[in-house]
Amino acid sequence: MLHYTLRRCGWTLVQLAVLSLVVFLLTDLLPGDAATVDFNEQAGLDQVAQLREQMGLDRPLVERFADWAHGLLTGDLGTSLVGGGPVRDVLSSSVPVTAALAVVTLVLLVPLAVAVGLLTGLRAGSRTDRTVSAVTLTLTSVPDFVLALLLVGVFALRLGWLPSTWVGADDVWWQRPELFVLPVAVLLARTVCVLSRQIRAGTVTALHAGYTVQARRLGVPPARLVLRHVLPNAAVPGVQELARTGDQLLGGVLVVEAVFAVPGTATALVEAVQNRDVPTVQGLTLTLAAVACLLNLAADLVSHRLAPRTEVLR
């Protein structure tokens, strides 16, 4: 297992290196550059040329990438072309926001999804199962932005119970838990549904599996049967799904951040791409990719732990 973990980490580093090169090239291929975008509708071509020179954008592509890569190796993510501040400042202001949203969502997601999945799976075919399944299927089909706007319309604009956006939250957002309610609700709606349906399917399969039937024949109590035999096997596809959900959450969930004006990583990344701010795009992409790789690695290891027969380690 240690060997496998080390091998996966090595591959992750290679993936990140390739990714950084690809992102750099793709960002460079976008029409316009940071100077052109910065002065859009503001100044003439002469001033744009002067700014381009000051930003170092008149240097060859290879030279710029080499500079950035050298900085990275020495722990320096570079300087934002647009704001002029260190890229690590962009990371330190945006990552905690998205991470907080993701953590709160994940903390609520797992028990909710397991509860709903088990409830419907153990009573497959019952009225409860049919009703809950109909609701989860419906929620899965509702686009995030529609749900977000509906929730804002009802709970913020109509009832006035919750803030409609994060506008004005500044850097004290962590002191205002009410800000999290609607974004987390939107993030949970689809993920709970998807995950609980996976667990439901796994539960139904596990309930009819030979080992469960045999355990039941041997007189294992129902609660123990579910906890020791059904749930661990039903959770395997759920864990993989959870890793994918984690990817999405750490990506910032663009729509949620946009609708609620959350100053997270997705907002920062979109803005950096729009500004053609290559160092910031690189810094954010690498961070998000690294976290995604770690999440997937963790999911594989947990899957193996839950059900050693899975073949992820080969």
The rounded distance, in Å, linking the Cα atoms of 147 and 104 is 19
In angstroms, what is the minimal distance from the CB of 81 to other proteins?
10
- DSSP state, 86? B
Nearest one of 54, 258, 70 to 269, comparing CA atoms: 258
CA distances from 74 to 7, 54, 67 (A): 24, 23, 11
Could you say which of 78, 163, 251, 264 contacts other proteins (CB under 8 A)? 163
Residues 264-283 within binding reach of other proteins (CB under 8 A): 268, 271, 274-277, 280
Q: Is 179 in the site for other proteins (CB under 8 A)?
A: no
Contact 100, 174 (CB under 8 A): yes
In angstroms, what is the minimal distance from the CB of 17 to other proteins?
26
The rounded distance, in Å, linking the Cα atoms of 83 and 37 is 13
**Only segment of 141-149, 187-195, 200-208, 282-290 that touches other proteins (CB under 8 A):** 141-149
Phi/psi zone of residue 143: left (φ > 0), alpha (ψ -120 to 50 degrees), beta?
beta
Q: Is 30 in the site for other proteins (CB under 8 A)?
A: yes
Could you say which of 17, 58, 171, 176 contacts other proteins (CB under 8 A)? 171
Contact characters 62-81, other proteins, x per CB under 8 A: ------------------x-
Q: Tokens for 175, please give them.
A: 């002191």
State whether residue 31 is helix, strand or coil.
coil
**Only segment of 16-24, 42-50, 123-131, 199-207 that touches other proteins (CB under 8 A):** 42-50
Residues 238-267 within binding reach of other proteins (CB under 8 A): 258-261, 263
**Only segment of 82-90, 195-203, 283-291, 305-313 that touches other proteins (CB under 8 A):** 82-90
The rounded distance, in Å, linking the Cα atoms of 99 and 253 is 11
The rounded distance, in Å, linking the Cα atoms of 30 and 153 is 37
CB within 8 Å of 290: residues ≥ 6 apart: 12, 16
Could you say which of 12, 165, 205, 248 contacts other proteins (CB under 8 A)? 165
In angstroms, what is the minimal distance from the CB of 60 to other proteins?
21
Contact 109, 245 (CB under 8 A): yes
**Only segment of 9-17, 115-123, 157-165, 240-248 that touches other proteins (CB under 8 A):** 157-165
Q: Which residues bind other proteins (CB under 8 A)?
A: 30-33, 36-48, 50-51, 54, 80, 82-83, 85, 90, 93, 145-146, 149-150, 152-154, 156-158, 160, 163-171, 258-261, 263, 268, 271, 274-277, 280
